[in-house]
Every structure is written in structure tokens, then in C-alpha cells.
Amino acid sequence: MATFFDSFTPREVAQISSHGRRVKLPEGWSPIWENTPADKAYILLEGTVSVRRDGAEIASLGPGDIVGEAAIVGHKLRTASIVAMSPLQAIHFTDTDIRELIEEMPAFAEKIAAVAQSRIKSD
């Protein structure tokens, strides 16, 4: 299964990762809440999350997936909540980190726009 990082070179992955901060989140934690401002995103390194809208699961994501980007890219409130289904290791990005990466890396800008667009269409 393709991951967010697959289309990047190892140097680009390092550049992207250096903009964020590695974090560990416990099982059951909900780092992103539906109908809240888009102030952060995560790239999952280990563990799985449930993506929920109105309490119902609409997707399950795991290592290599990015979460929280669609609302940042779309300048909208969150359309879903994220719940850790296992302990997570992830890279935490602020909205500023994401915007800086979009400006600095055309490849990142294209990839994040494509992922966000695919998720917005499924909304």
C-alpha cells in the first residue's frame, strides 16, 4: 500500500521530517477533533488511527499516512476526528510547518494537494 512518503527521495523525507517534531500518543487519544480549527497535522510512523465523522468510522489509516492536512490546505474547519487505535509514533506539524513546506518544496505541495483533494472529494 502506498504511503505519503513513497514519492519522495530520502533527502526530501529528511527535509519534511525536520520541519516536524516526533511525538508518542497513547491508544485512545484523539489529537484532532471534528469542527475545530486546522492547526496541526501528523504523519503516522507507527500505529493506526480511526477517522470518524459524527462518531462513525469512515476510514482507518496507518504508518506512512498523513492526517489533518486537508483542513489546512482547504482553509476549513476539520471534517472528521482522529482516534488512536493503538499507541502512535508520529511526526507532529503545526499549520505553519505545513505552509512552510508547501512554499519550500514543490513536490510536497503537489503531494499534499493531491491527498487533500482526494479526501475532500470523499467528504
Task: Kindly report, residue by residue over 105-115, the tens digit of the pLDDT.
Answer: 999 999 998 88
Q: How far apart are CA 91 and CA 68, in angstroms?
A: 12
- The candidate with the shortest Cα–Cα distance to 19, out of 73, 82, 99, 112, is 99
From the CA atom positions of the chain, what is the Rg in Å? 13
The pLDDT tens digits for 8-34 are 999 999 999 999 999 999 999 999 999
CATH match for 9-122 among 2.60.120.10, 3.40.50.80, 3.30.300.30, 3.40.50.300:
2.60.120.10
Q: What band does 5 get if pLDDT is binned at 50, 70 and 90? A: confident
